[in-house]
Structure 1
Amino acid sequence: MAHKEPSSTDLDARYSDPRAAAGDWADAVTRLTEAEVFWLSTVRPDGRPHVTPLLAVWQRDALYFCSGERERKVLNLNENREVVLTTGTNALGEGHDLVVEGEAVRVTDEARLRELAALWECKYGSAWHFDVKDGAFGGAEGPALVFGVTPRTAFGFAKSPYGQTRWRFA
């Protein structure tokens, strides 16, 4: 499936092995699609950071995540929609880490939510089945709001050889 290409791709020589090449965005999209756990960083109303692990799906050039409407991350998003999502490994010499920066935009269209709910279940299994109701995912704990993050800037951190790529999107 075609994806939006970055407007610029840069390898930062300061943090890259001389043998490294700029990462390919198509490879990063594959990694974002296949990754199981992401870390979401938001900002509390008093300016302190908040980071939490969560599940996410990649589709249509964006990462999507969900959260209960009273959870800290949603309370933070009510004040500041700027987020960072990260995924990768905790190994030093292998793997690839990715960082996606952008604005978290709430998804309320029920047809779109049903499509995303099907993606969640396909990726994570039947334990992650969601019904759609009133512009949110329905669950045992109450509604889960869904947000999409289209990358404004993304970073790829290769580990063998070390390389730091920055992708910017218009």
Structure 2
Amino acid sequence: MSQPEPRTRLDARYSHPDAEAVPWSVAVTRLATAPVFWLSTVRPDGRPHVTPLLAVWLENALHFCTGADERKSHNLHANANCVLTTGDNALDRGLDVVVEGRAVPLTDESSLRRIADAYAGKYGPDWRFEVRDGAFHGSGGNVARVLRVAPTTVFGFGKGTYSQTRWRFDAV
């Protein structure tokens, strides 16, 4: 599946005069290699909820898993809009990336197998899942549903030479 090319714009209001827009390929590399993401969802009563999690970039989207009884799962069932964030704690280097989109459950077992392989490839053998019945099955009988977040808008915050790049996808 080819990577859709987003519309790219540097926001000069929040960028150093010498800054340039970050190429989408740089953001994709960051999404593919980042070890930890922060998922922001909204509780049914409107309060925010943020939690760290592991995710893999595959087929133009971020994928993560959650147990059916977890707070993030309940939140996304009521409101699929979410944000996934990753970055560095350094002020003078790196790129922080914020992905906005909708979390869509996946149950197709061929897709789930590719995602399970991506988890094991990225995070190692402790993160190998068995795929059956449209879900991930882990050690100890844990079952997790898998969600896909295709980006609608992505922000990249460059540090060192400060910049704010926005990537928008045609579906928005």
Question: What TM-score, normalized to structure 1?
Answer: 0.97
Matches within 5 A, 1:159-170: 159-170=159-170
Encode CA deviations 1:63-118: one digit per residue, 9 max, x unaligned: 00001110000000110000000000011111110000000000100111011101
Shift of 1:143: 1.0
| Aligned residue in 1 for 2:43 | 44
Match of 1:128 in 2: 127
Which letter does structure 2 place at the counterpart of 1:120? Answer: Y
Q: Aligned partners of 1:22, 1:141: CA distance in 2, in Å?
A: 46
Change over 3 Å in CA distance of 1:14–1:141 after alignment to 2: farther
Matched pairs, number? 169
Within the alignment, does 1:73 sit opposite 2:69 as a pair?
no
TM-fit CA distance, 1:2: 4.3
SS at structure 2 position matched to 1:127: helix
Give the Cα separation in 2 of the matches to 1:165 and 1:41: 20
Unpaired segments ≥5 residues, structure 2? none
Deviation at 1:142, TM superposition (A): 2.2
C-alpha separation in 1, matches of 2:141 and 2:88? 30
Structure 1 counterpart of 2:166, one-letter code: R
Task: Provide the secondary structure at the position in 1 that maps to 2:91.
Answer: coil
Equivalent residue for 1:85? Answer: 84
Consecutive aligned runs of 4 or more in structure 1 exceeding 6 Å deviation: none
Cross-structure match for 1:12: 11
Report if the CA contact (8 A) 2:83-2:98 is conserved: yes
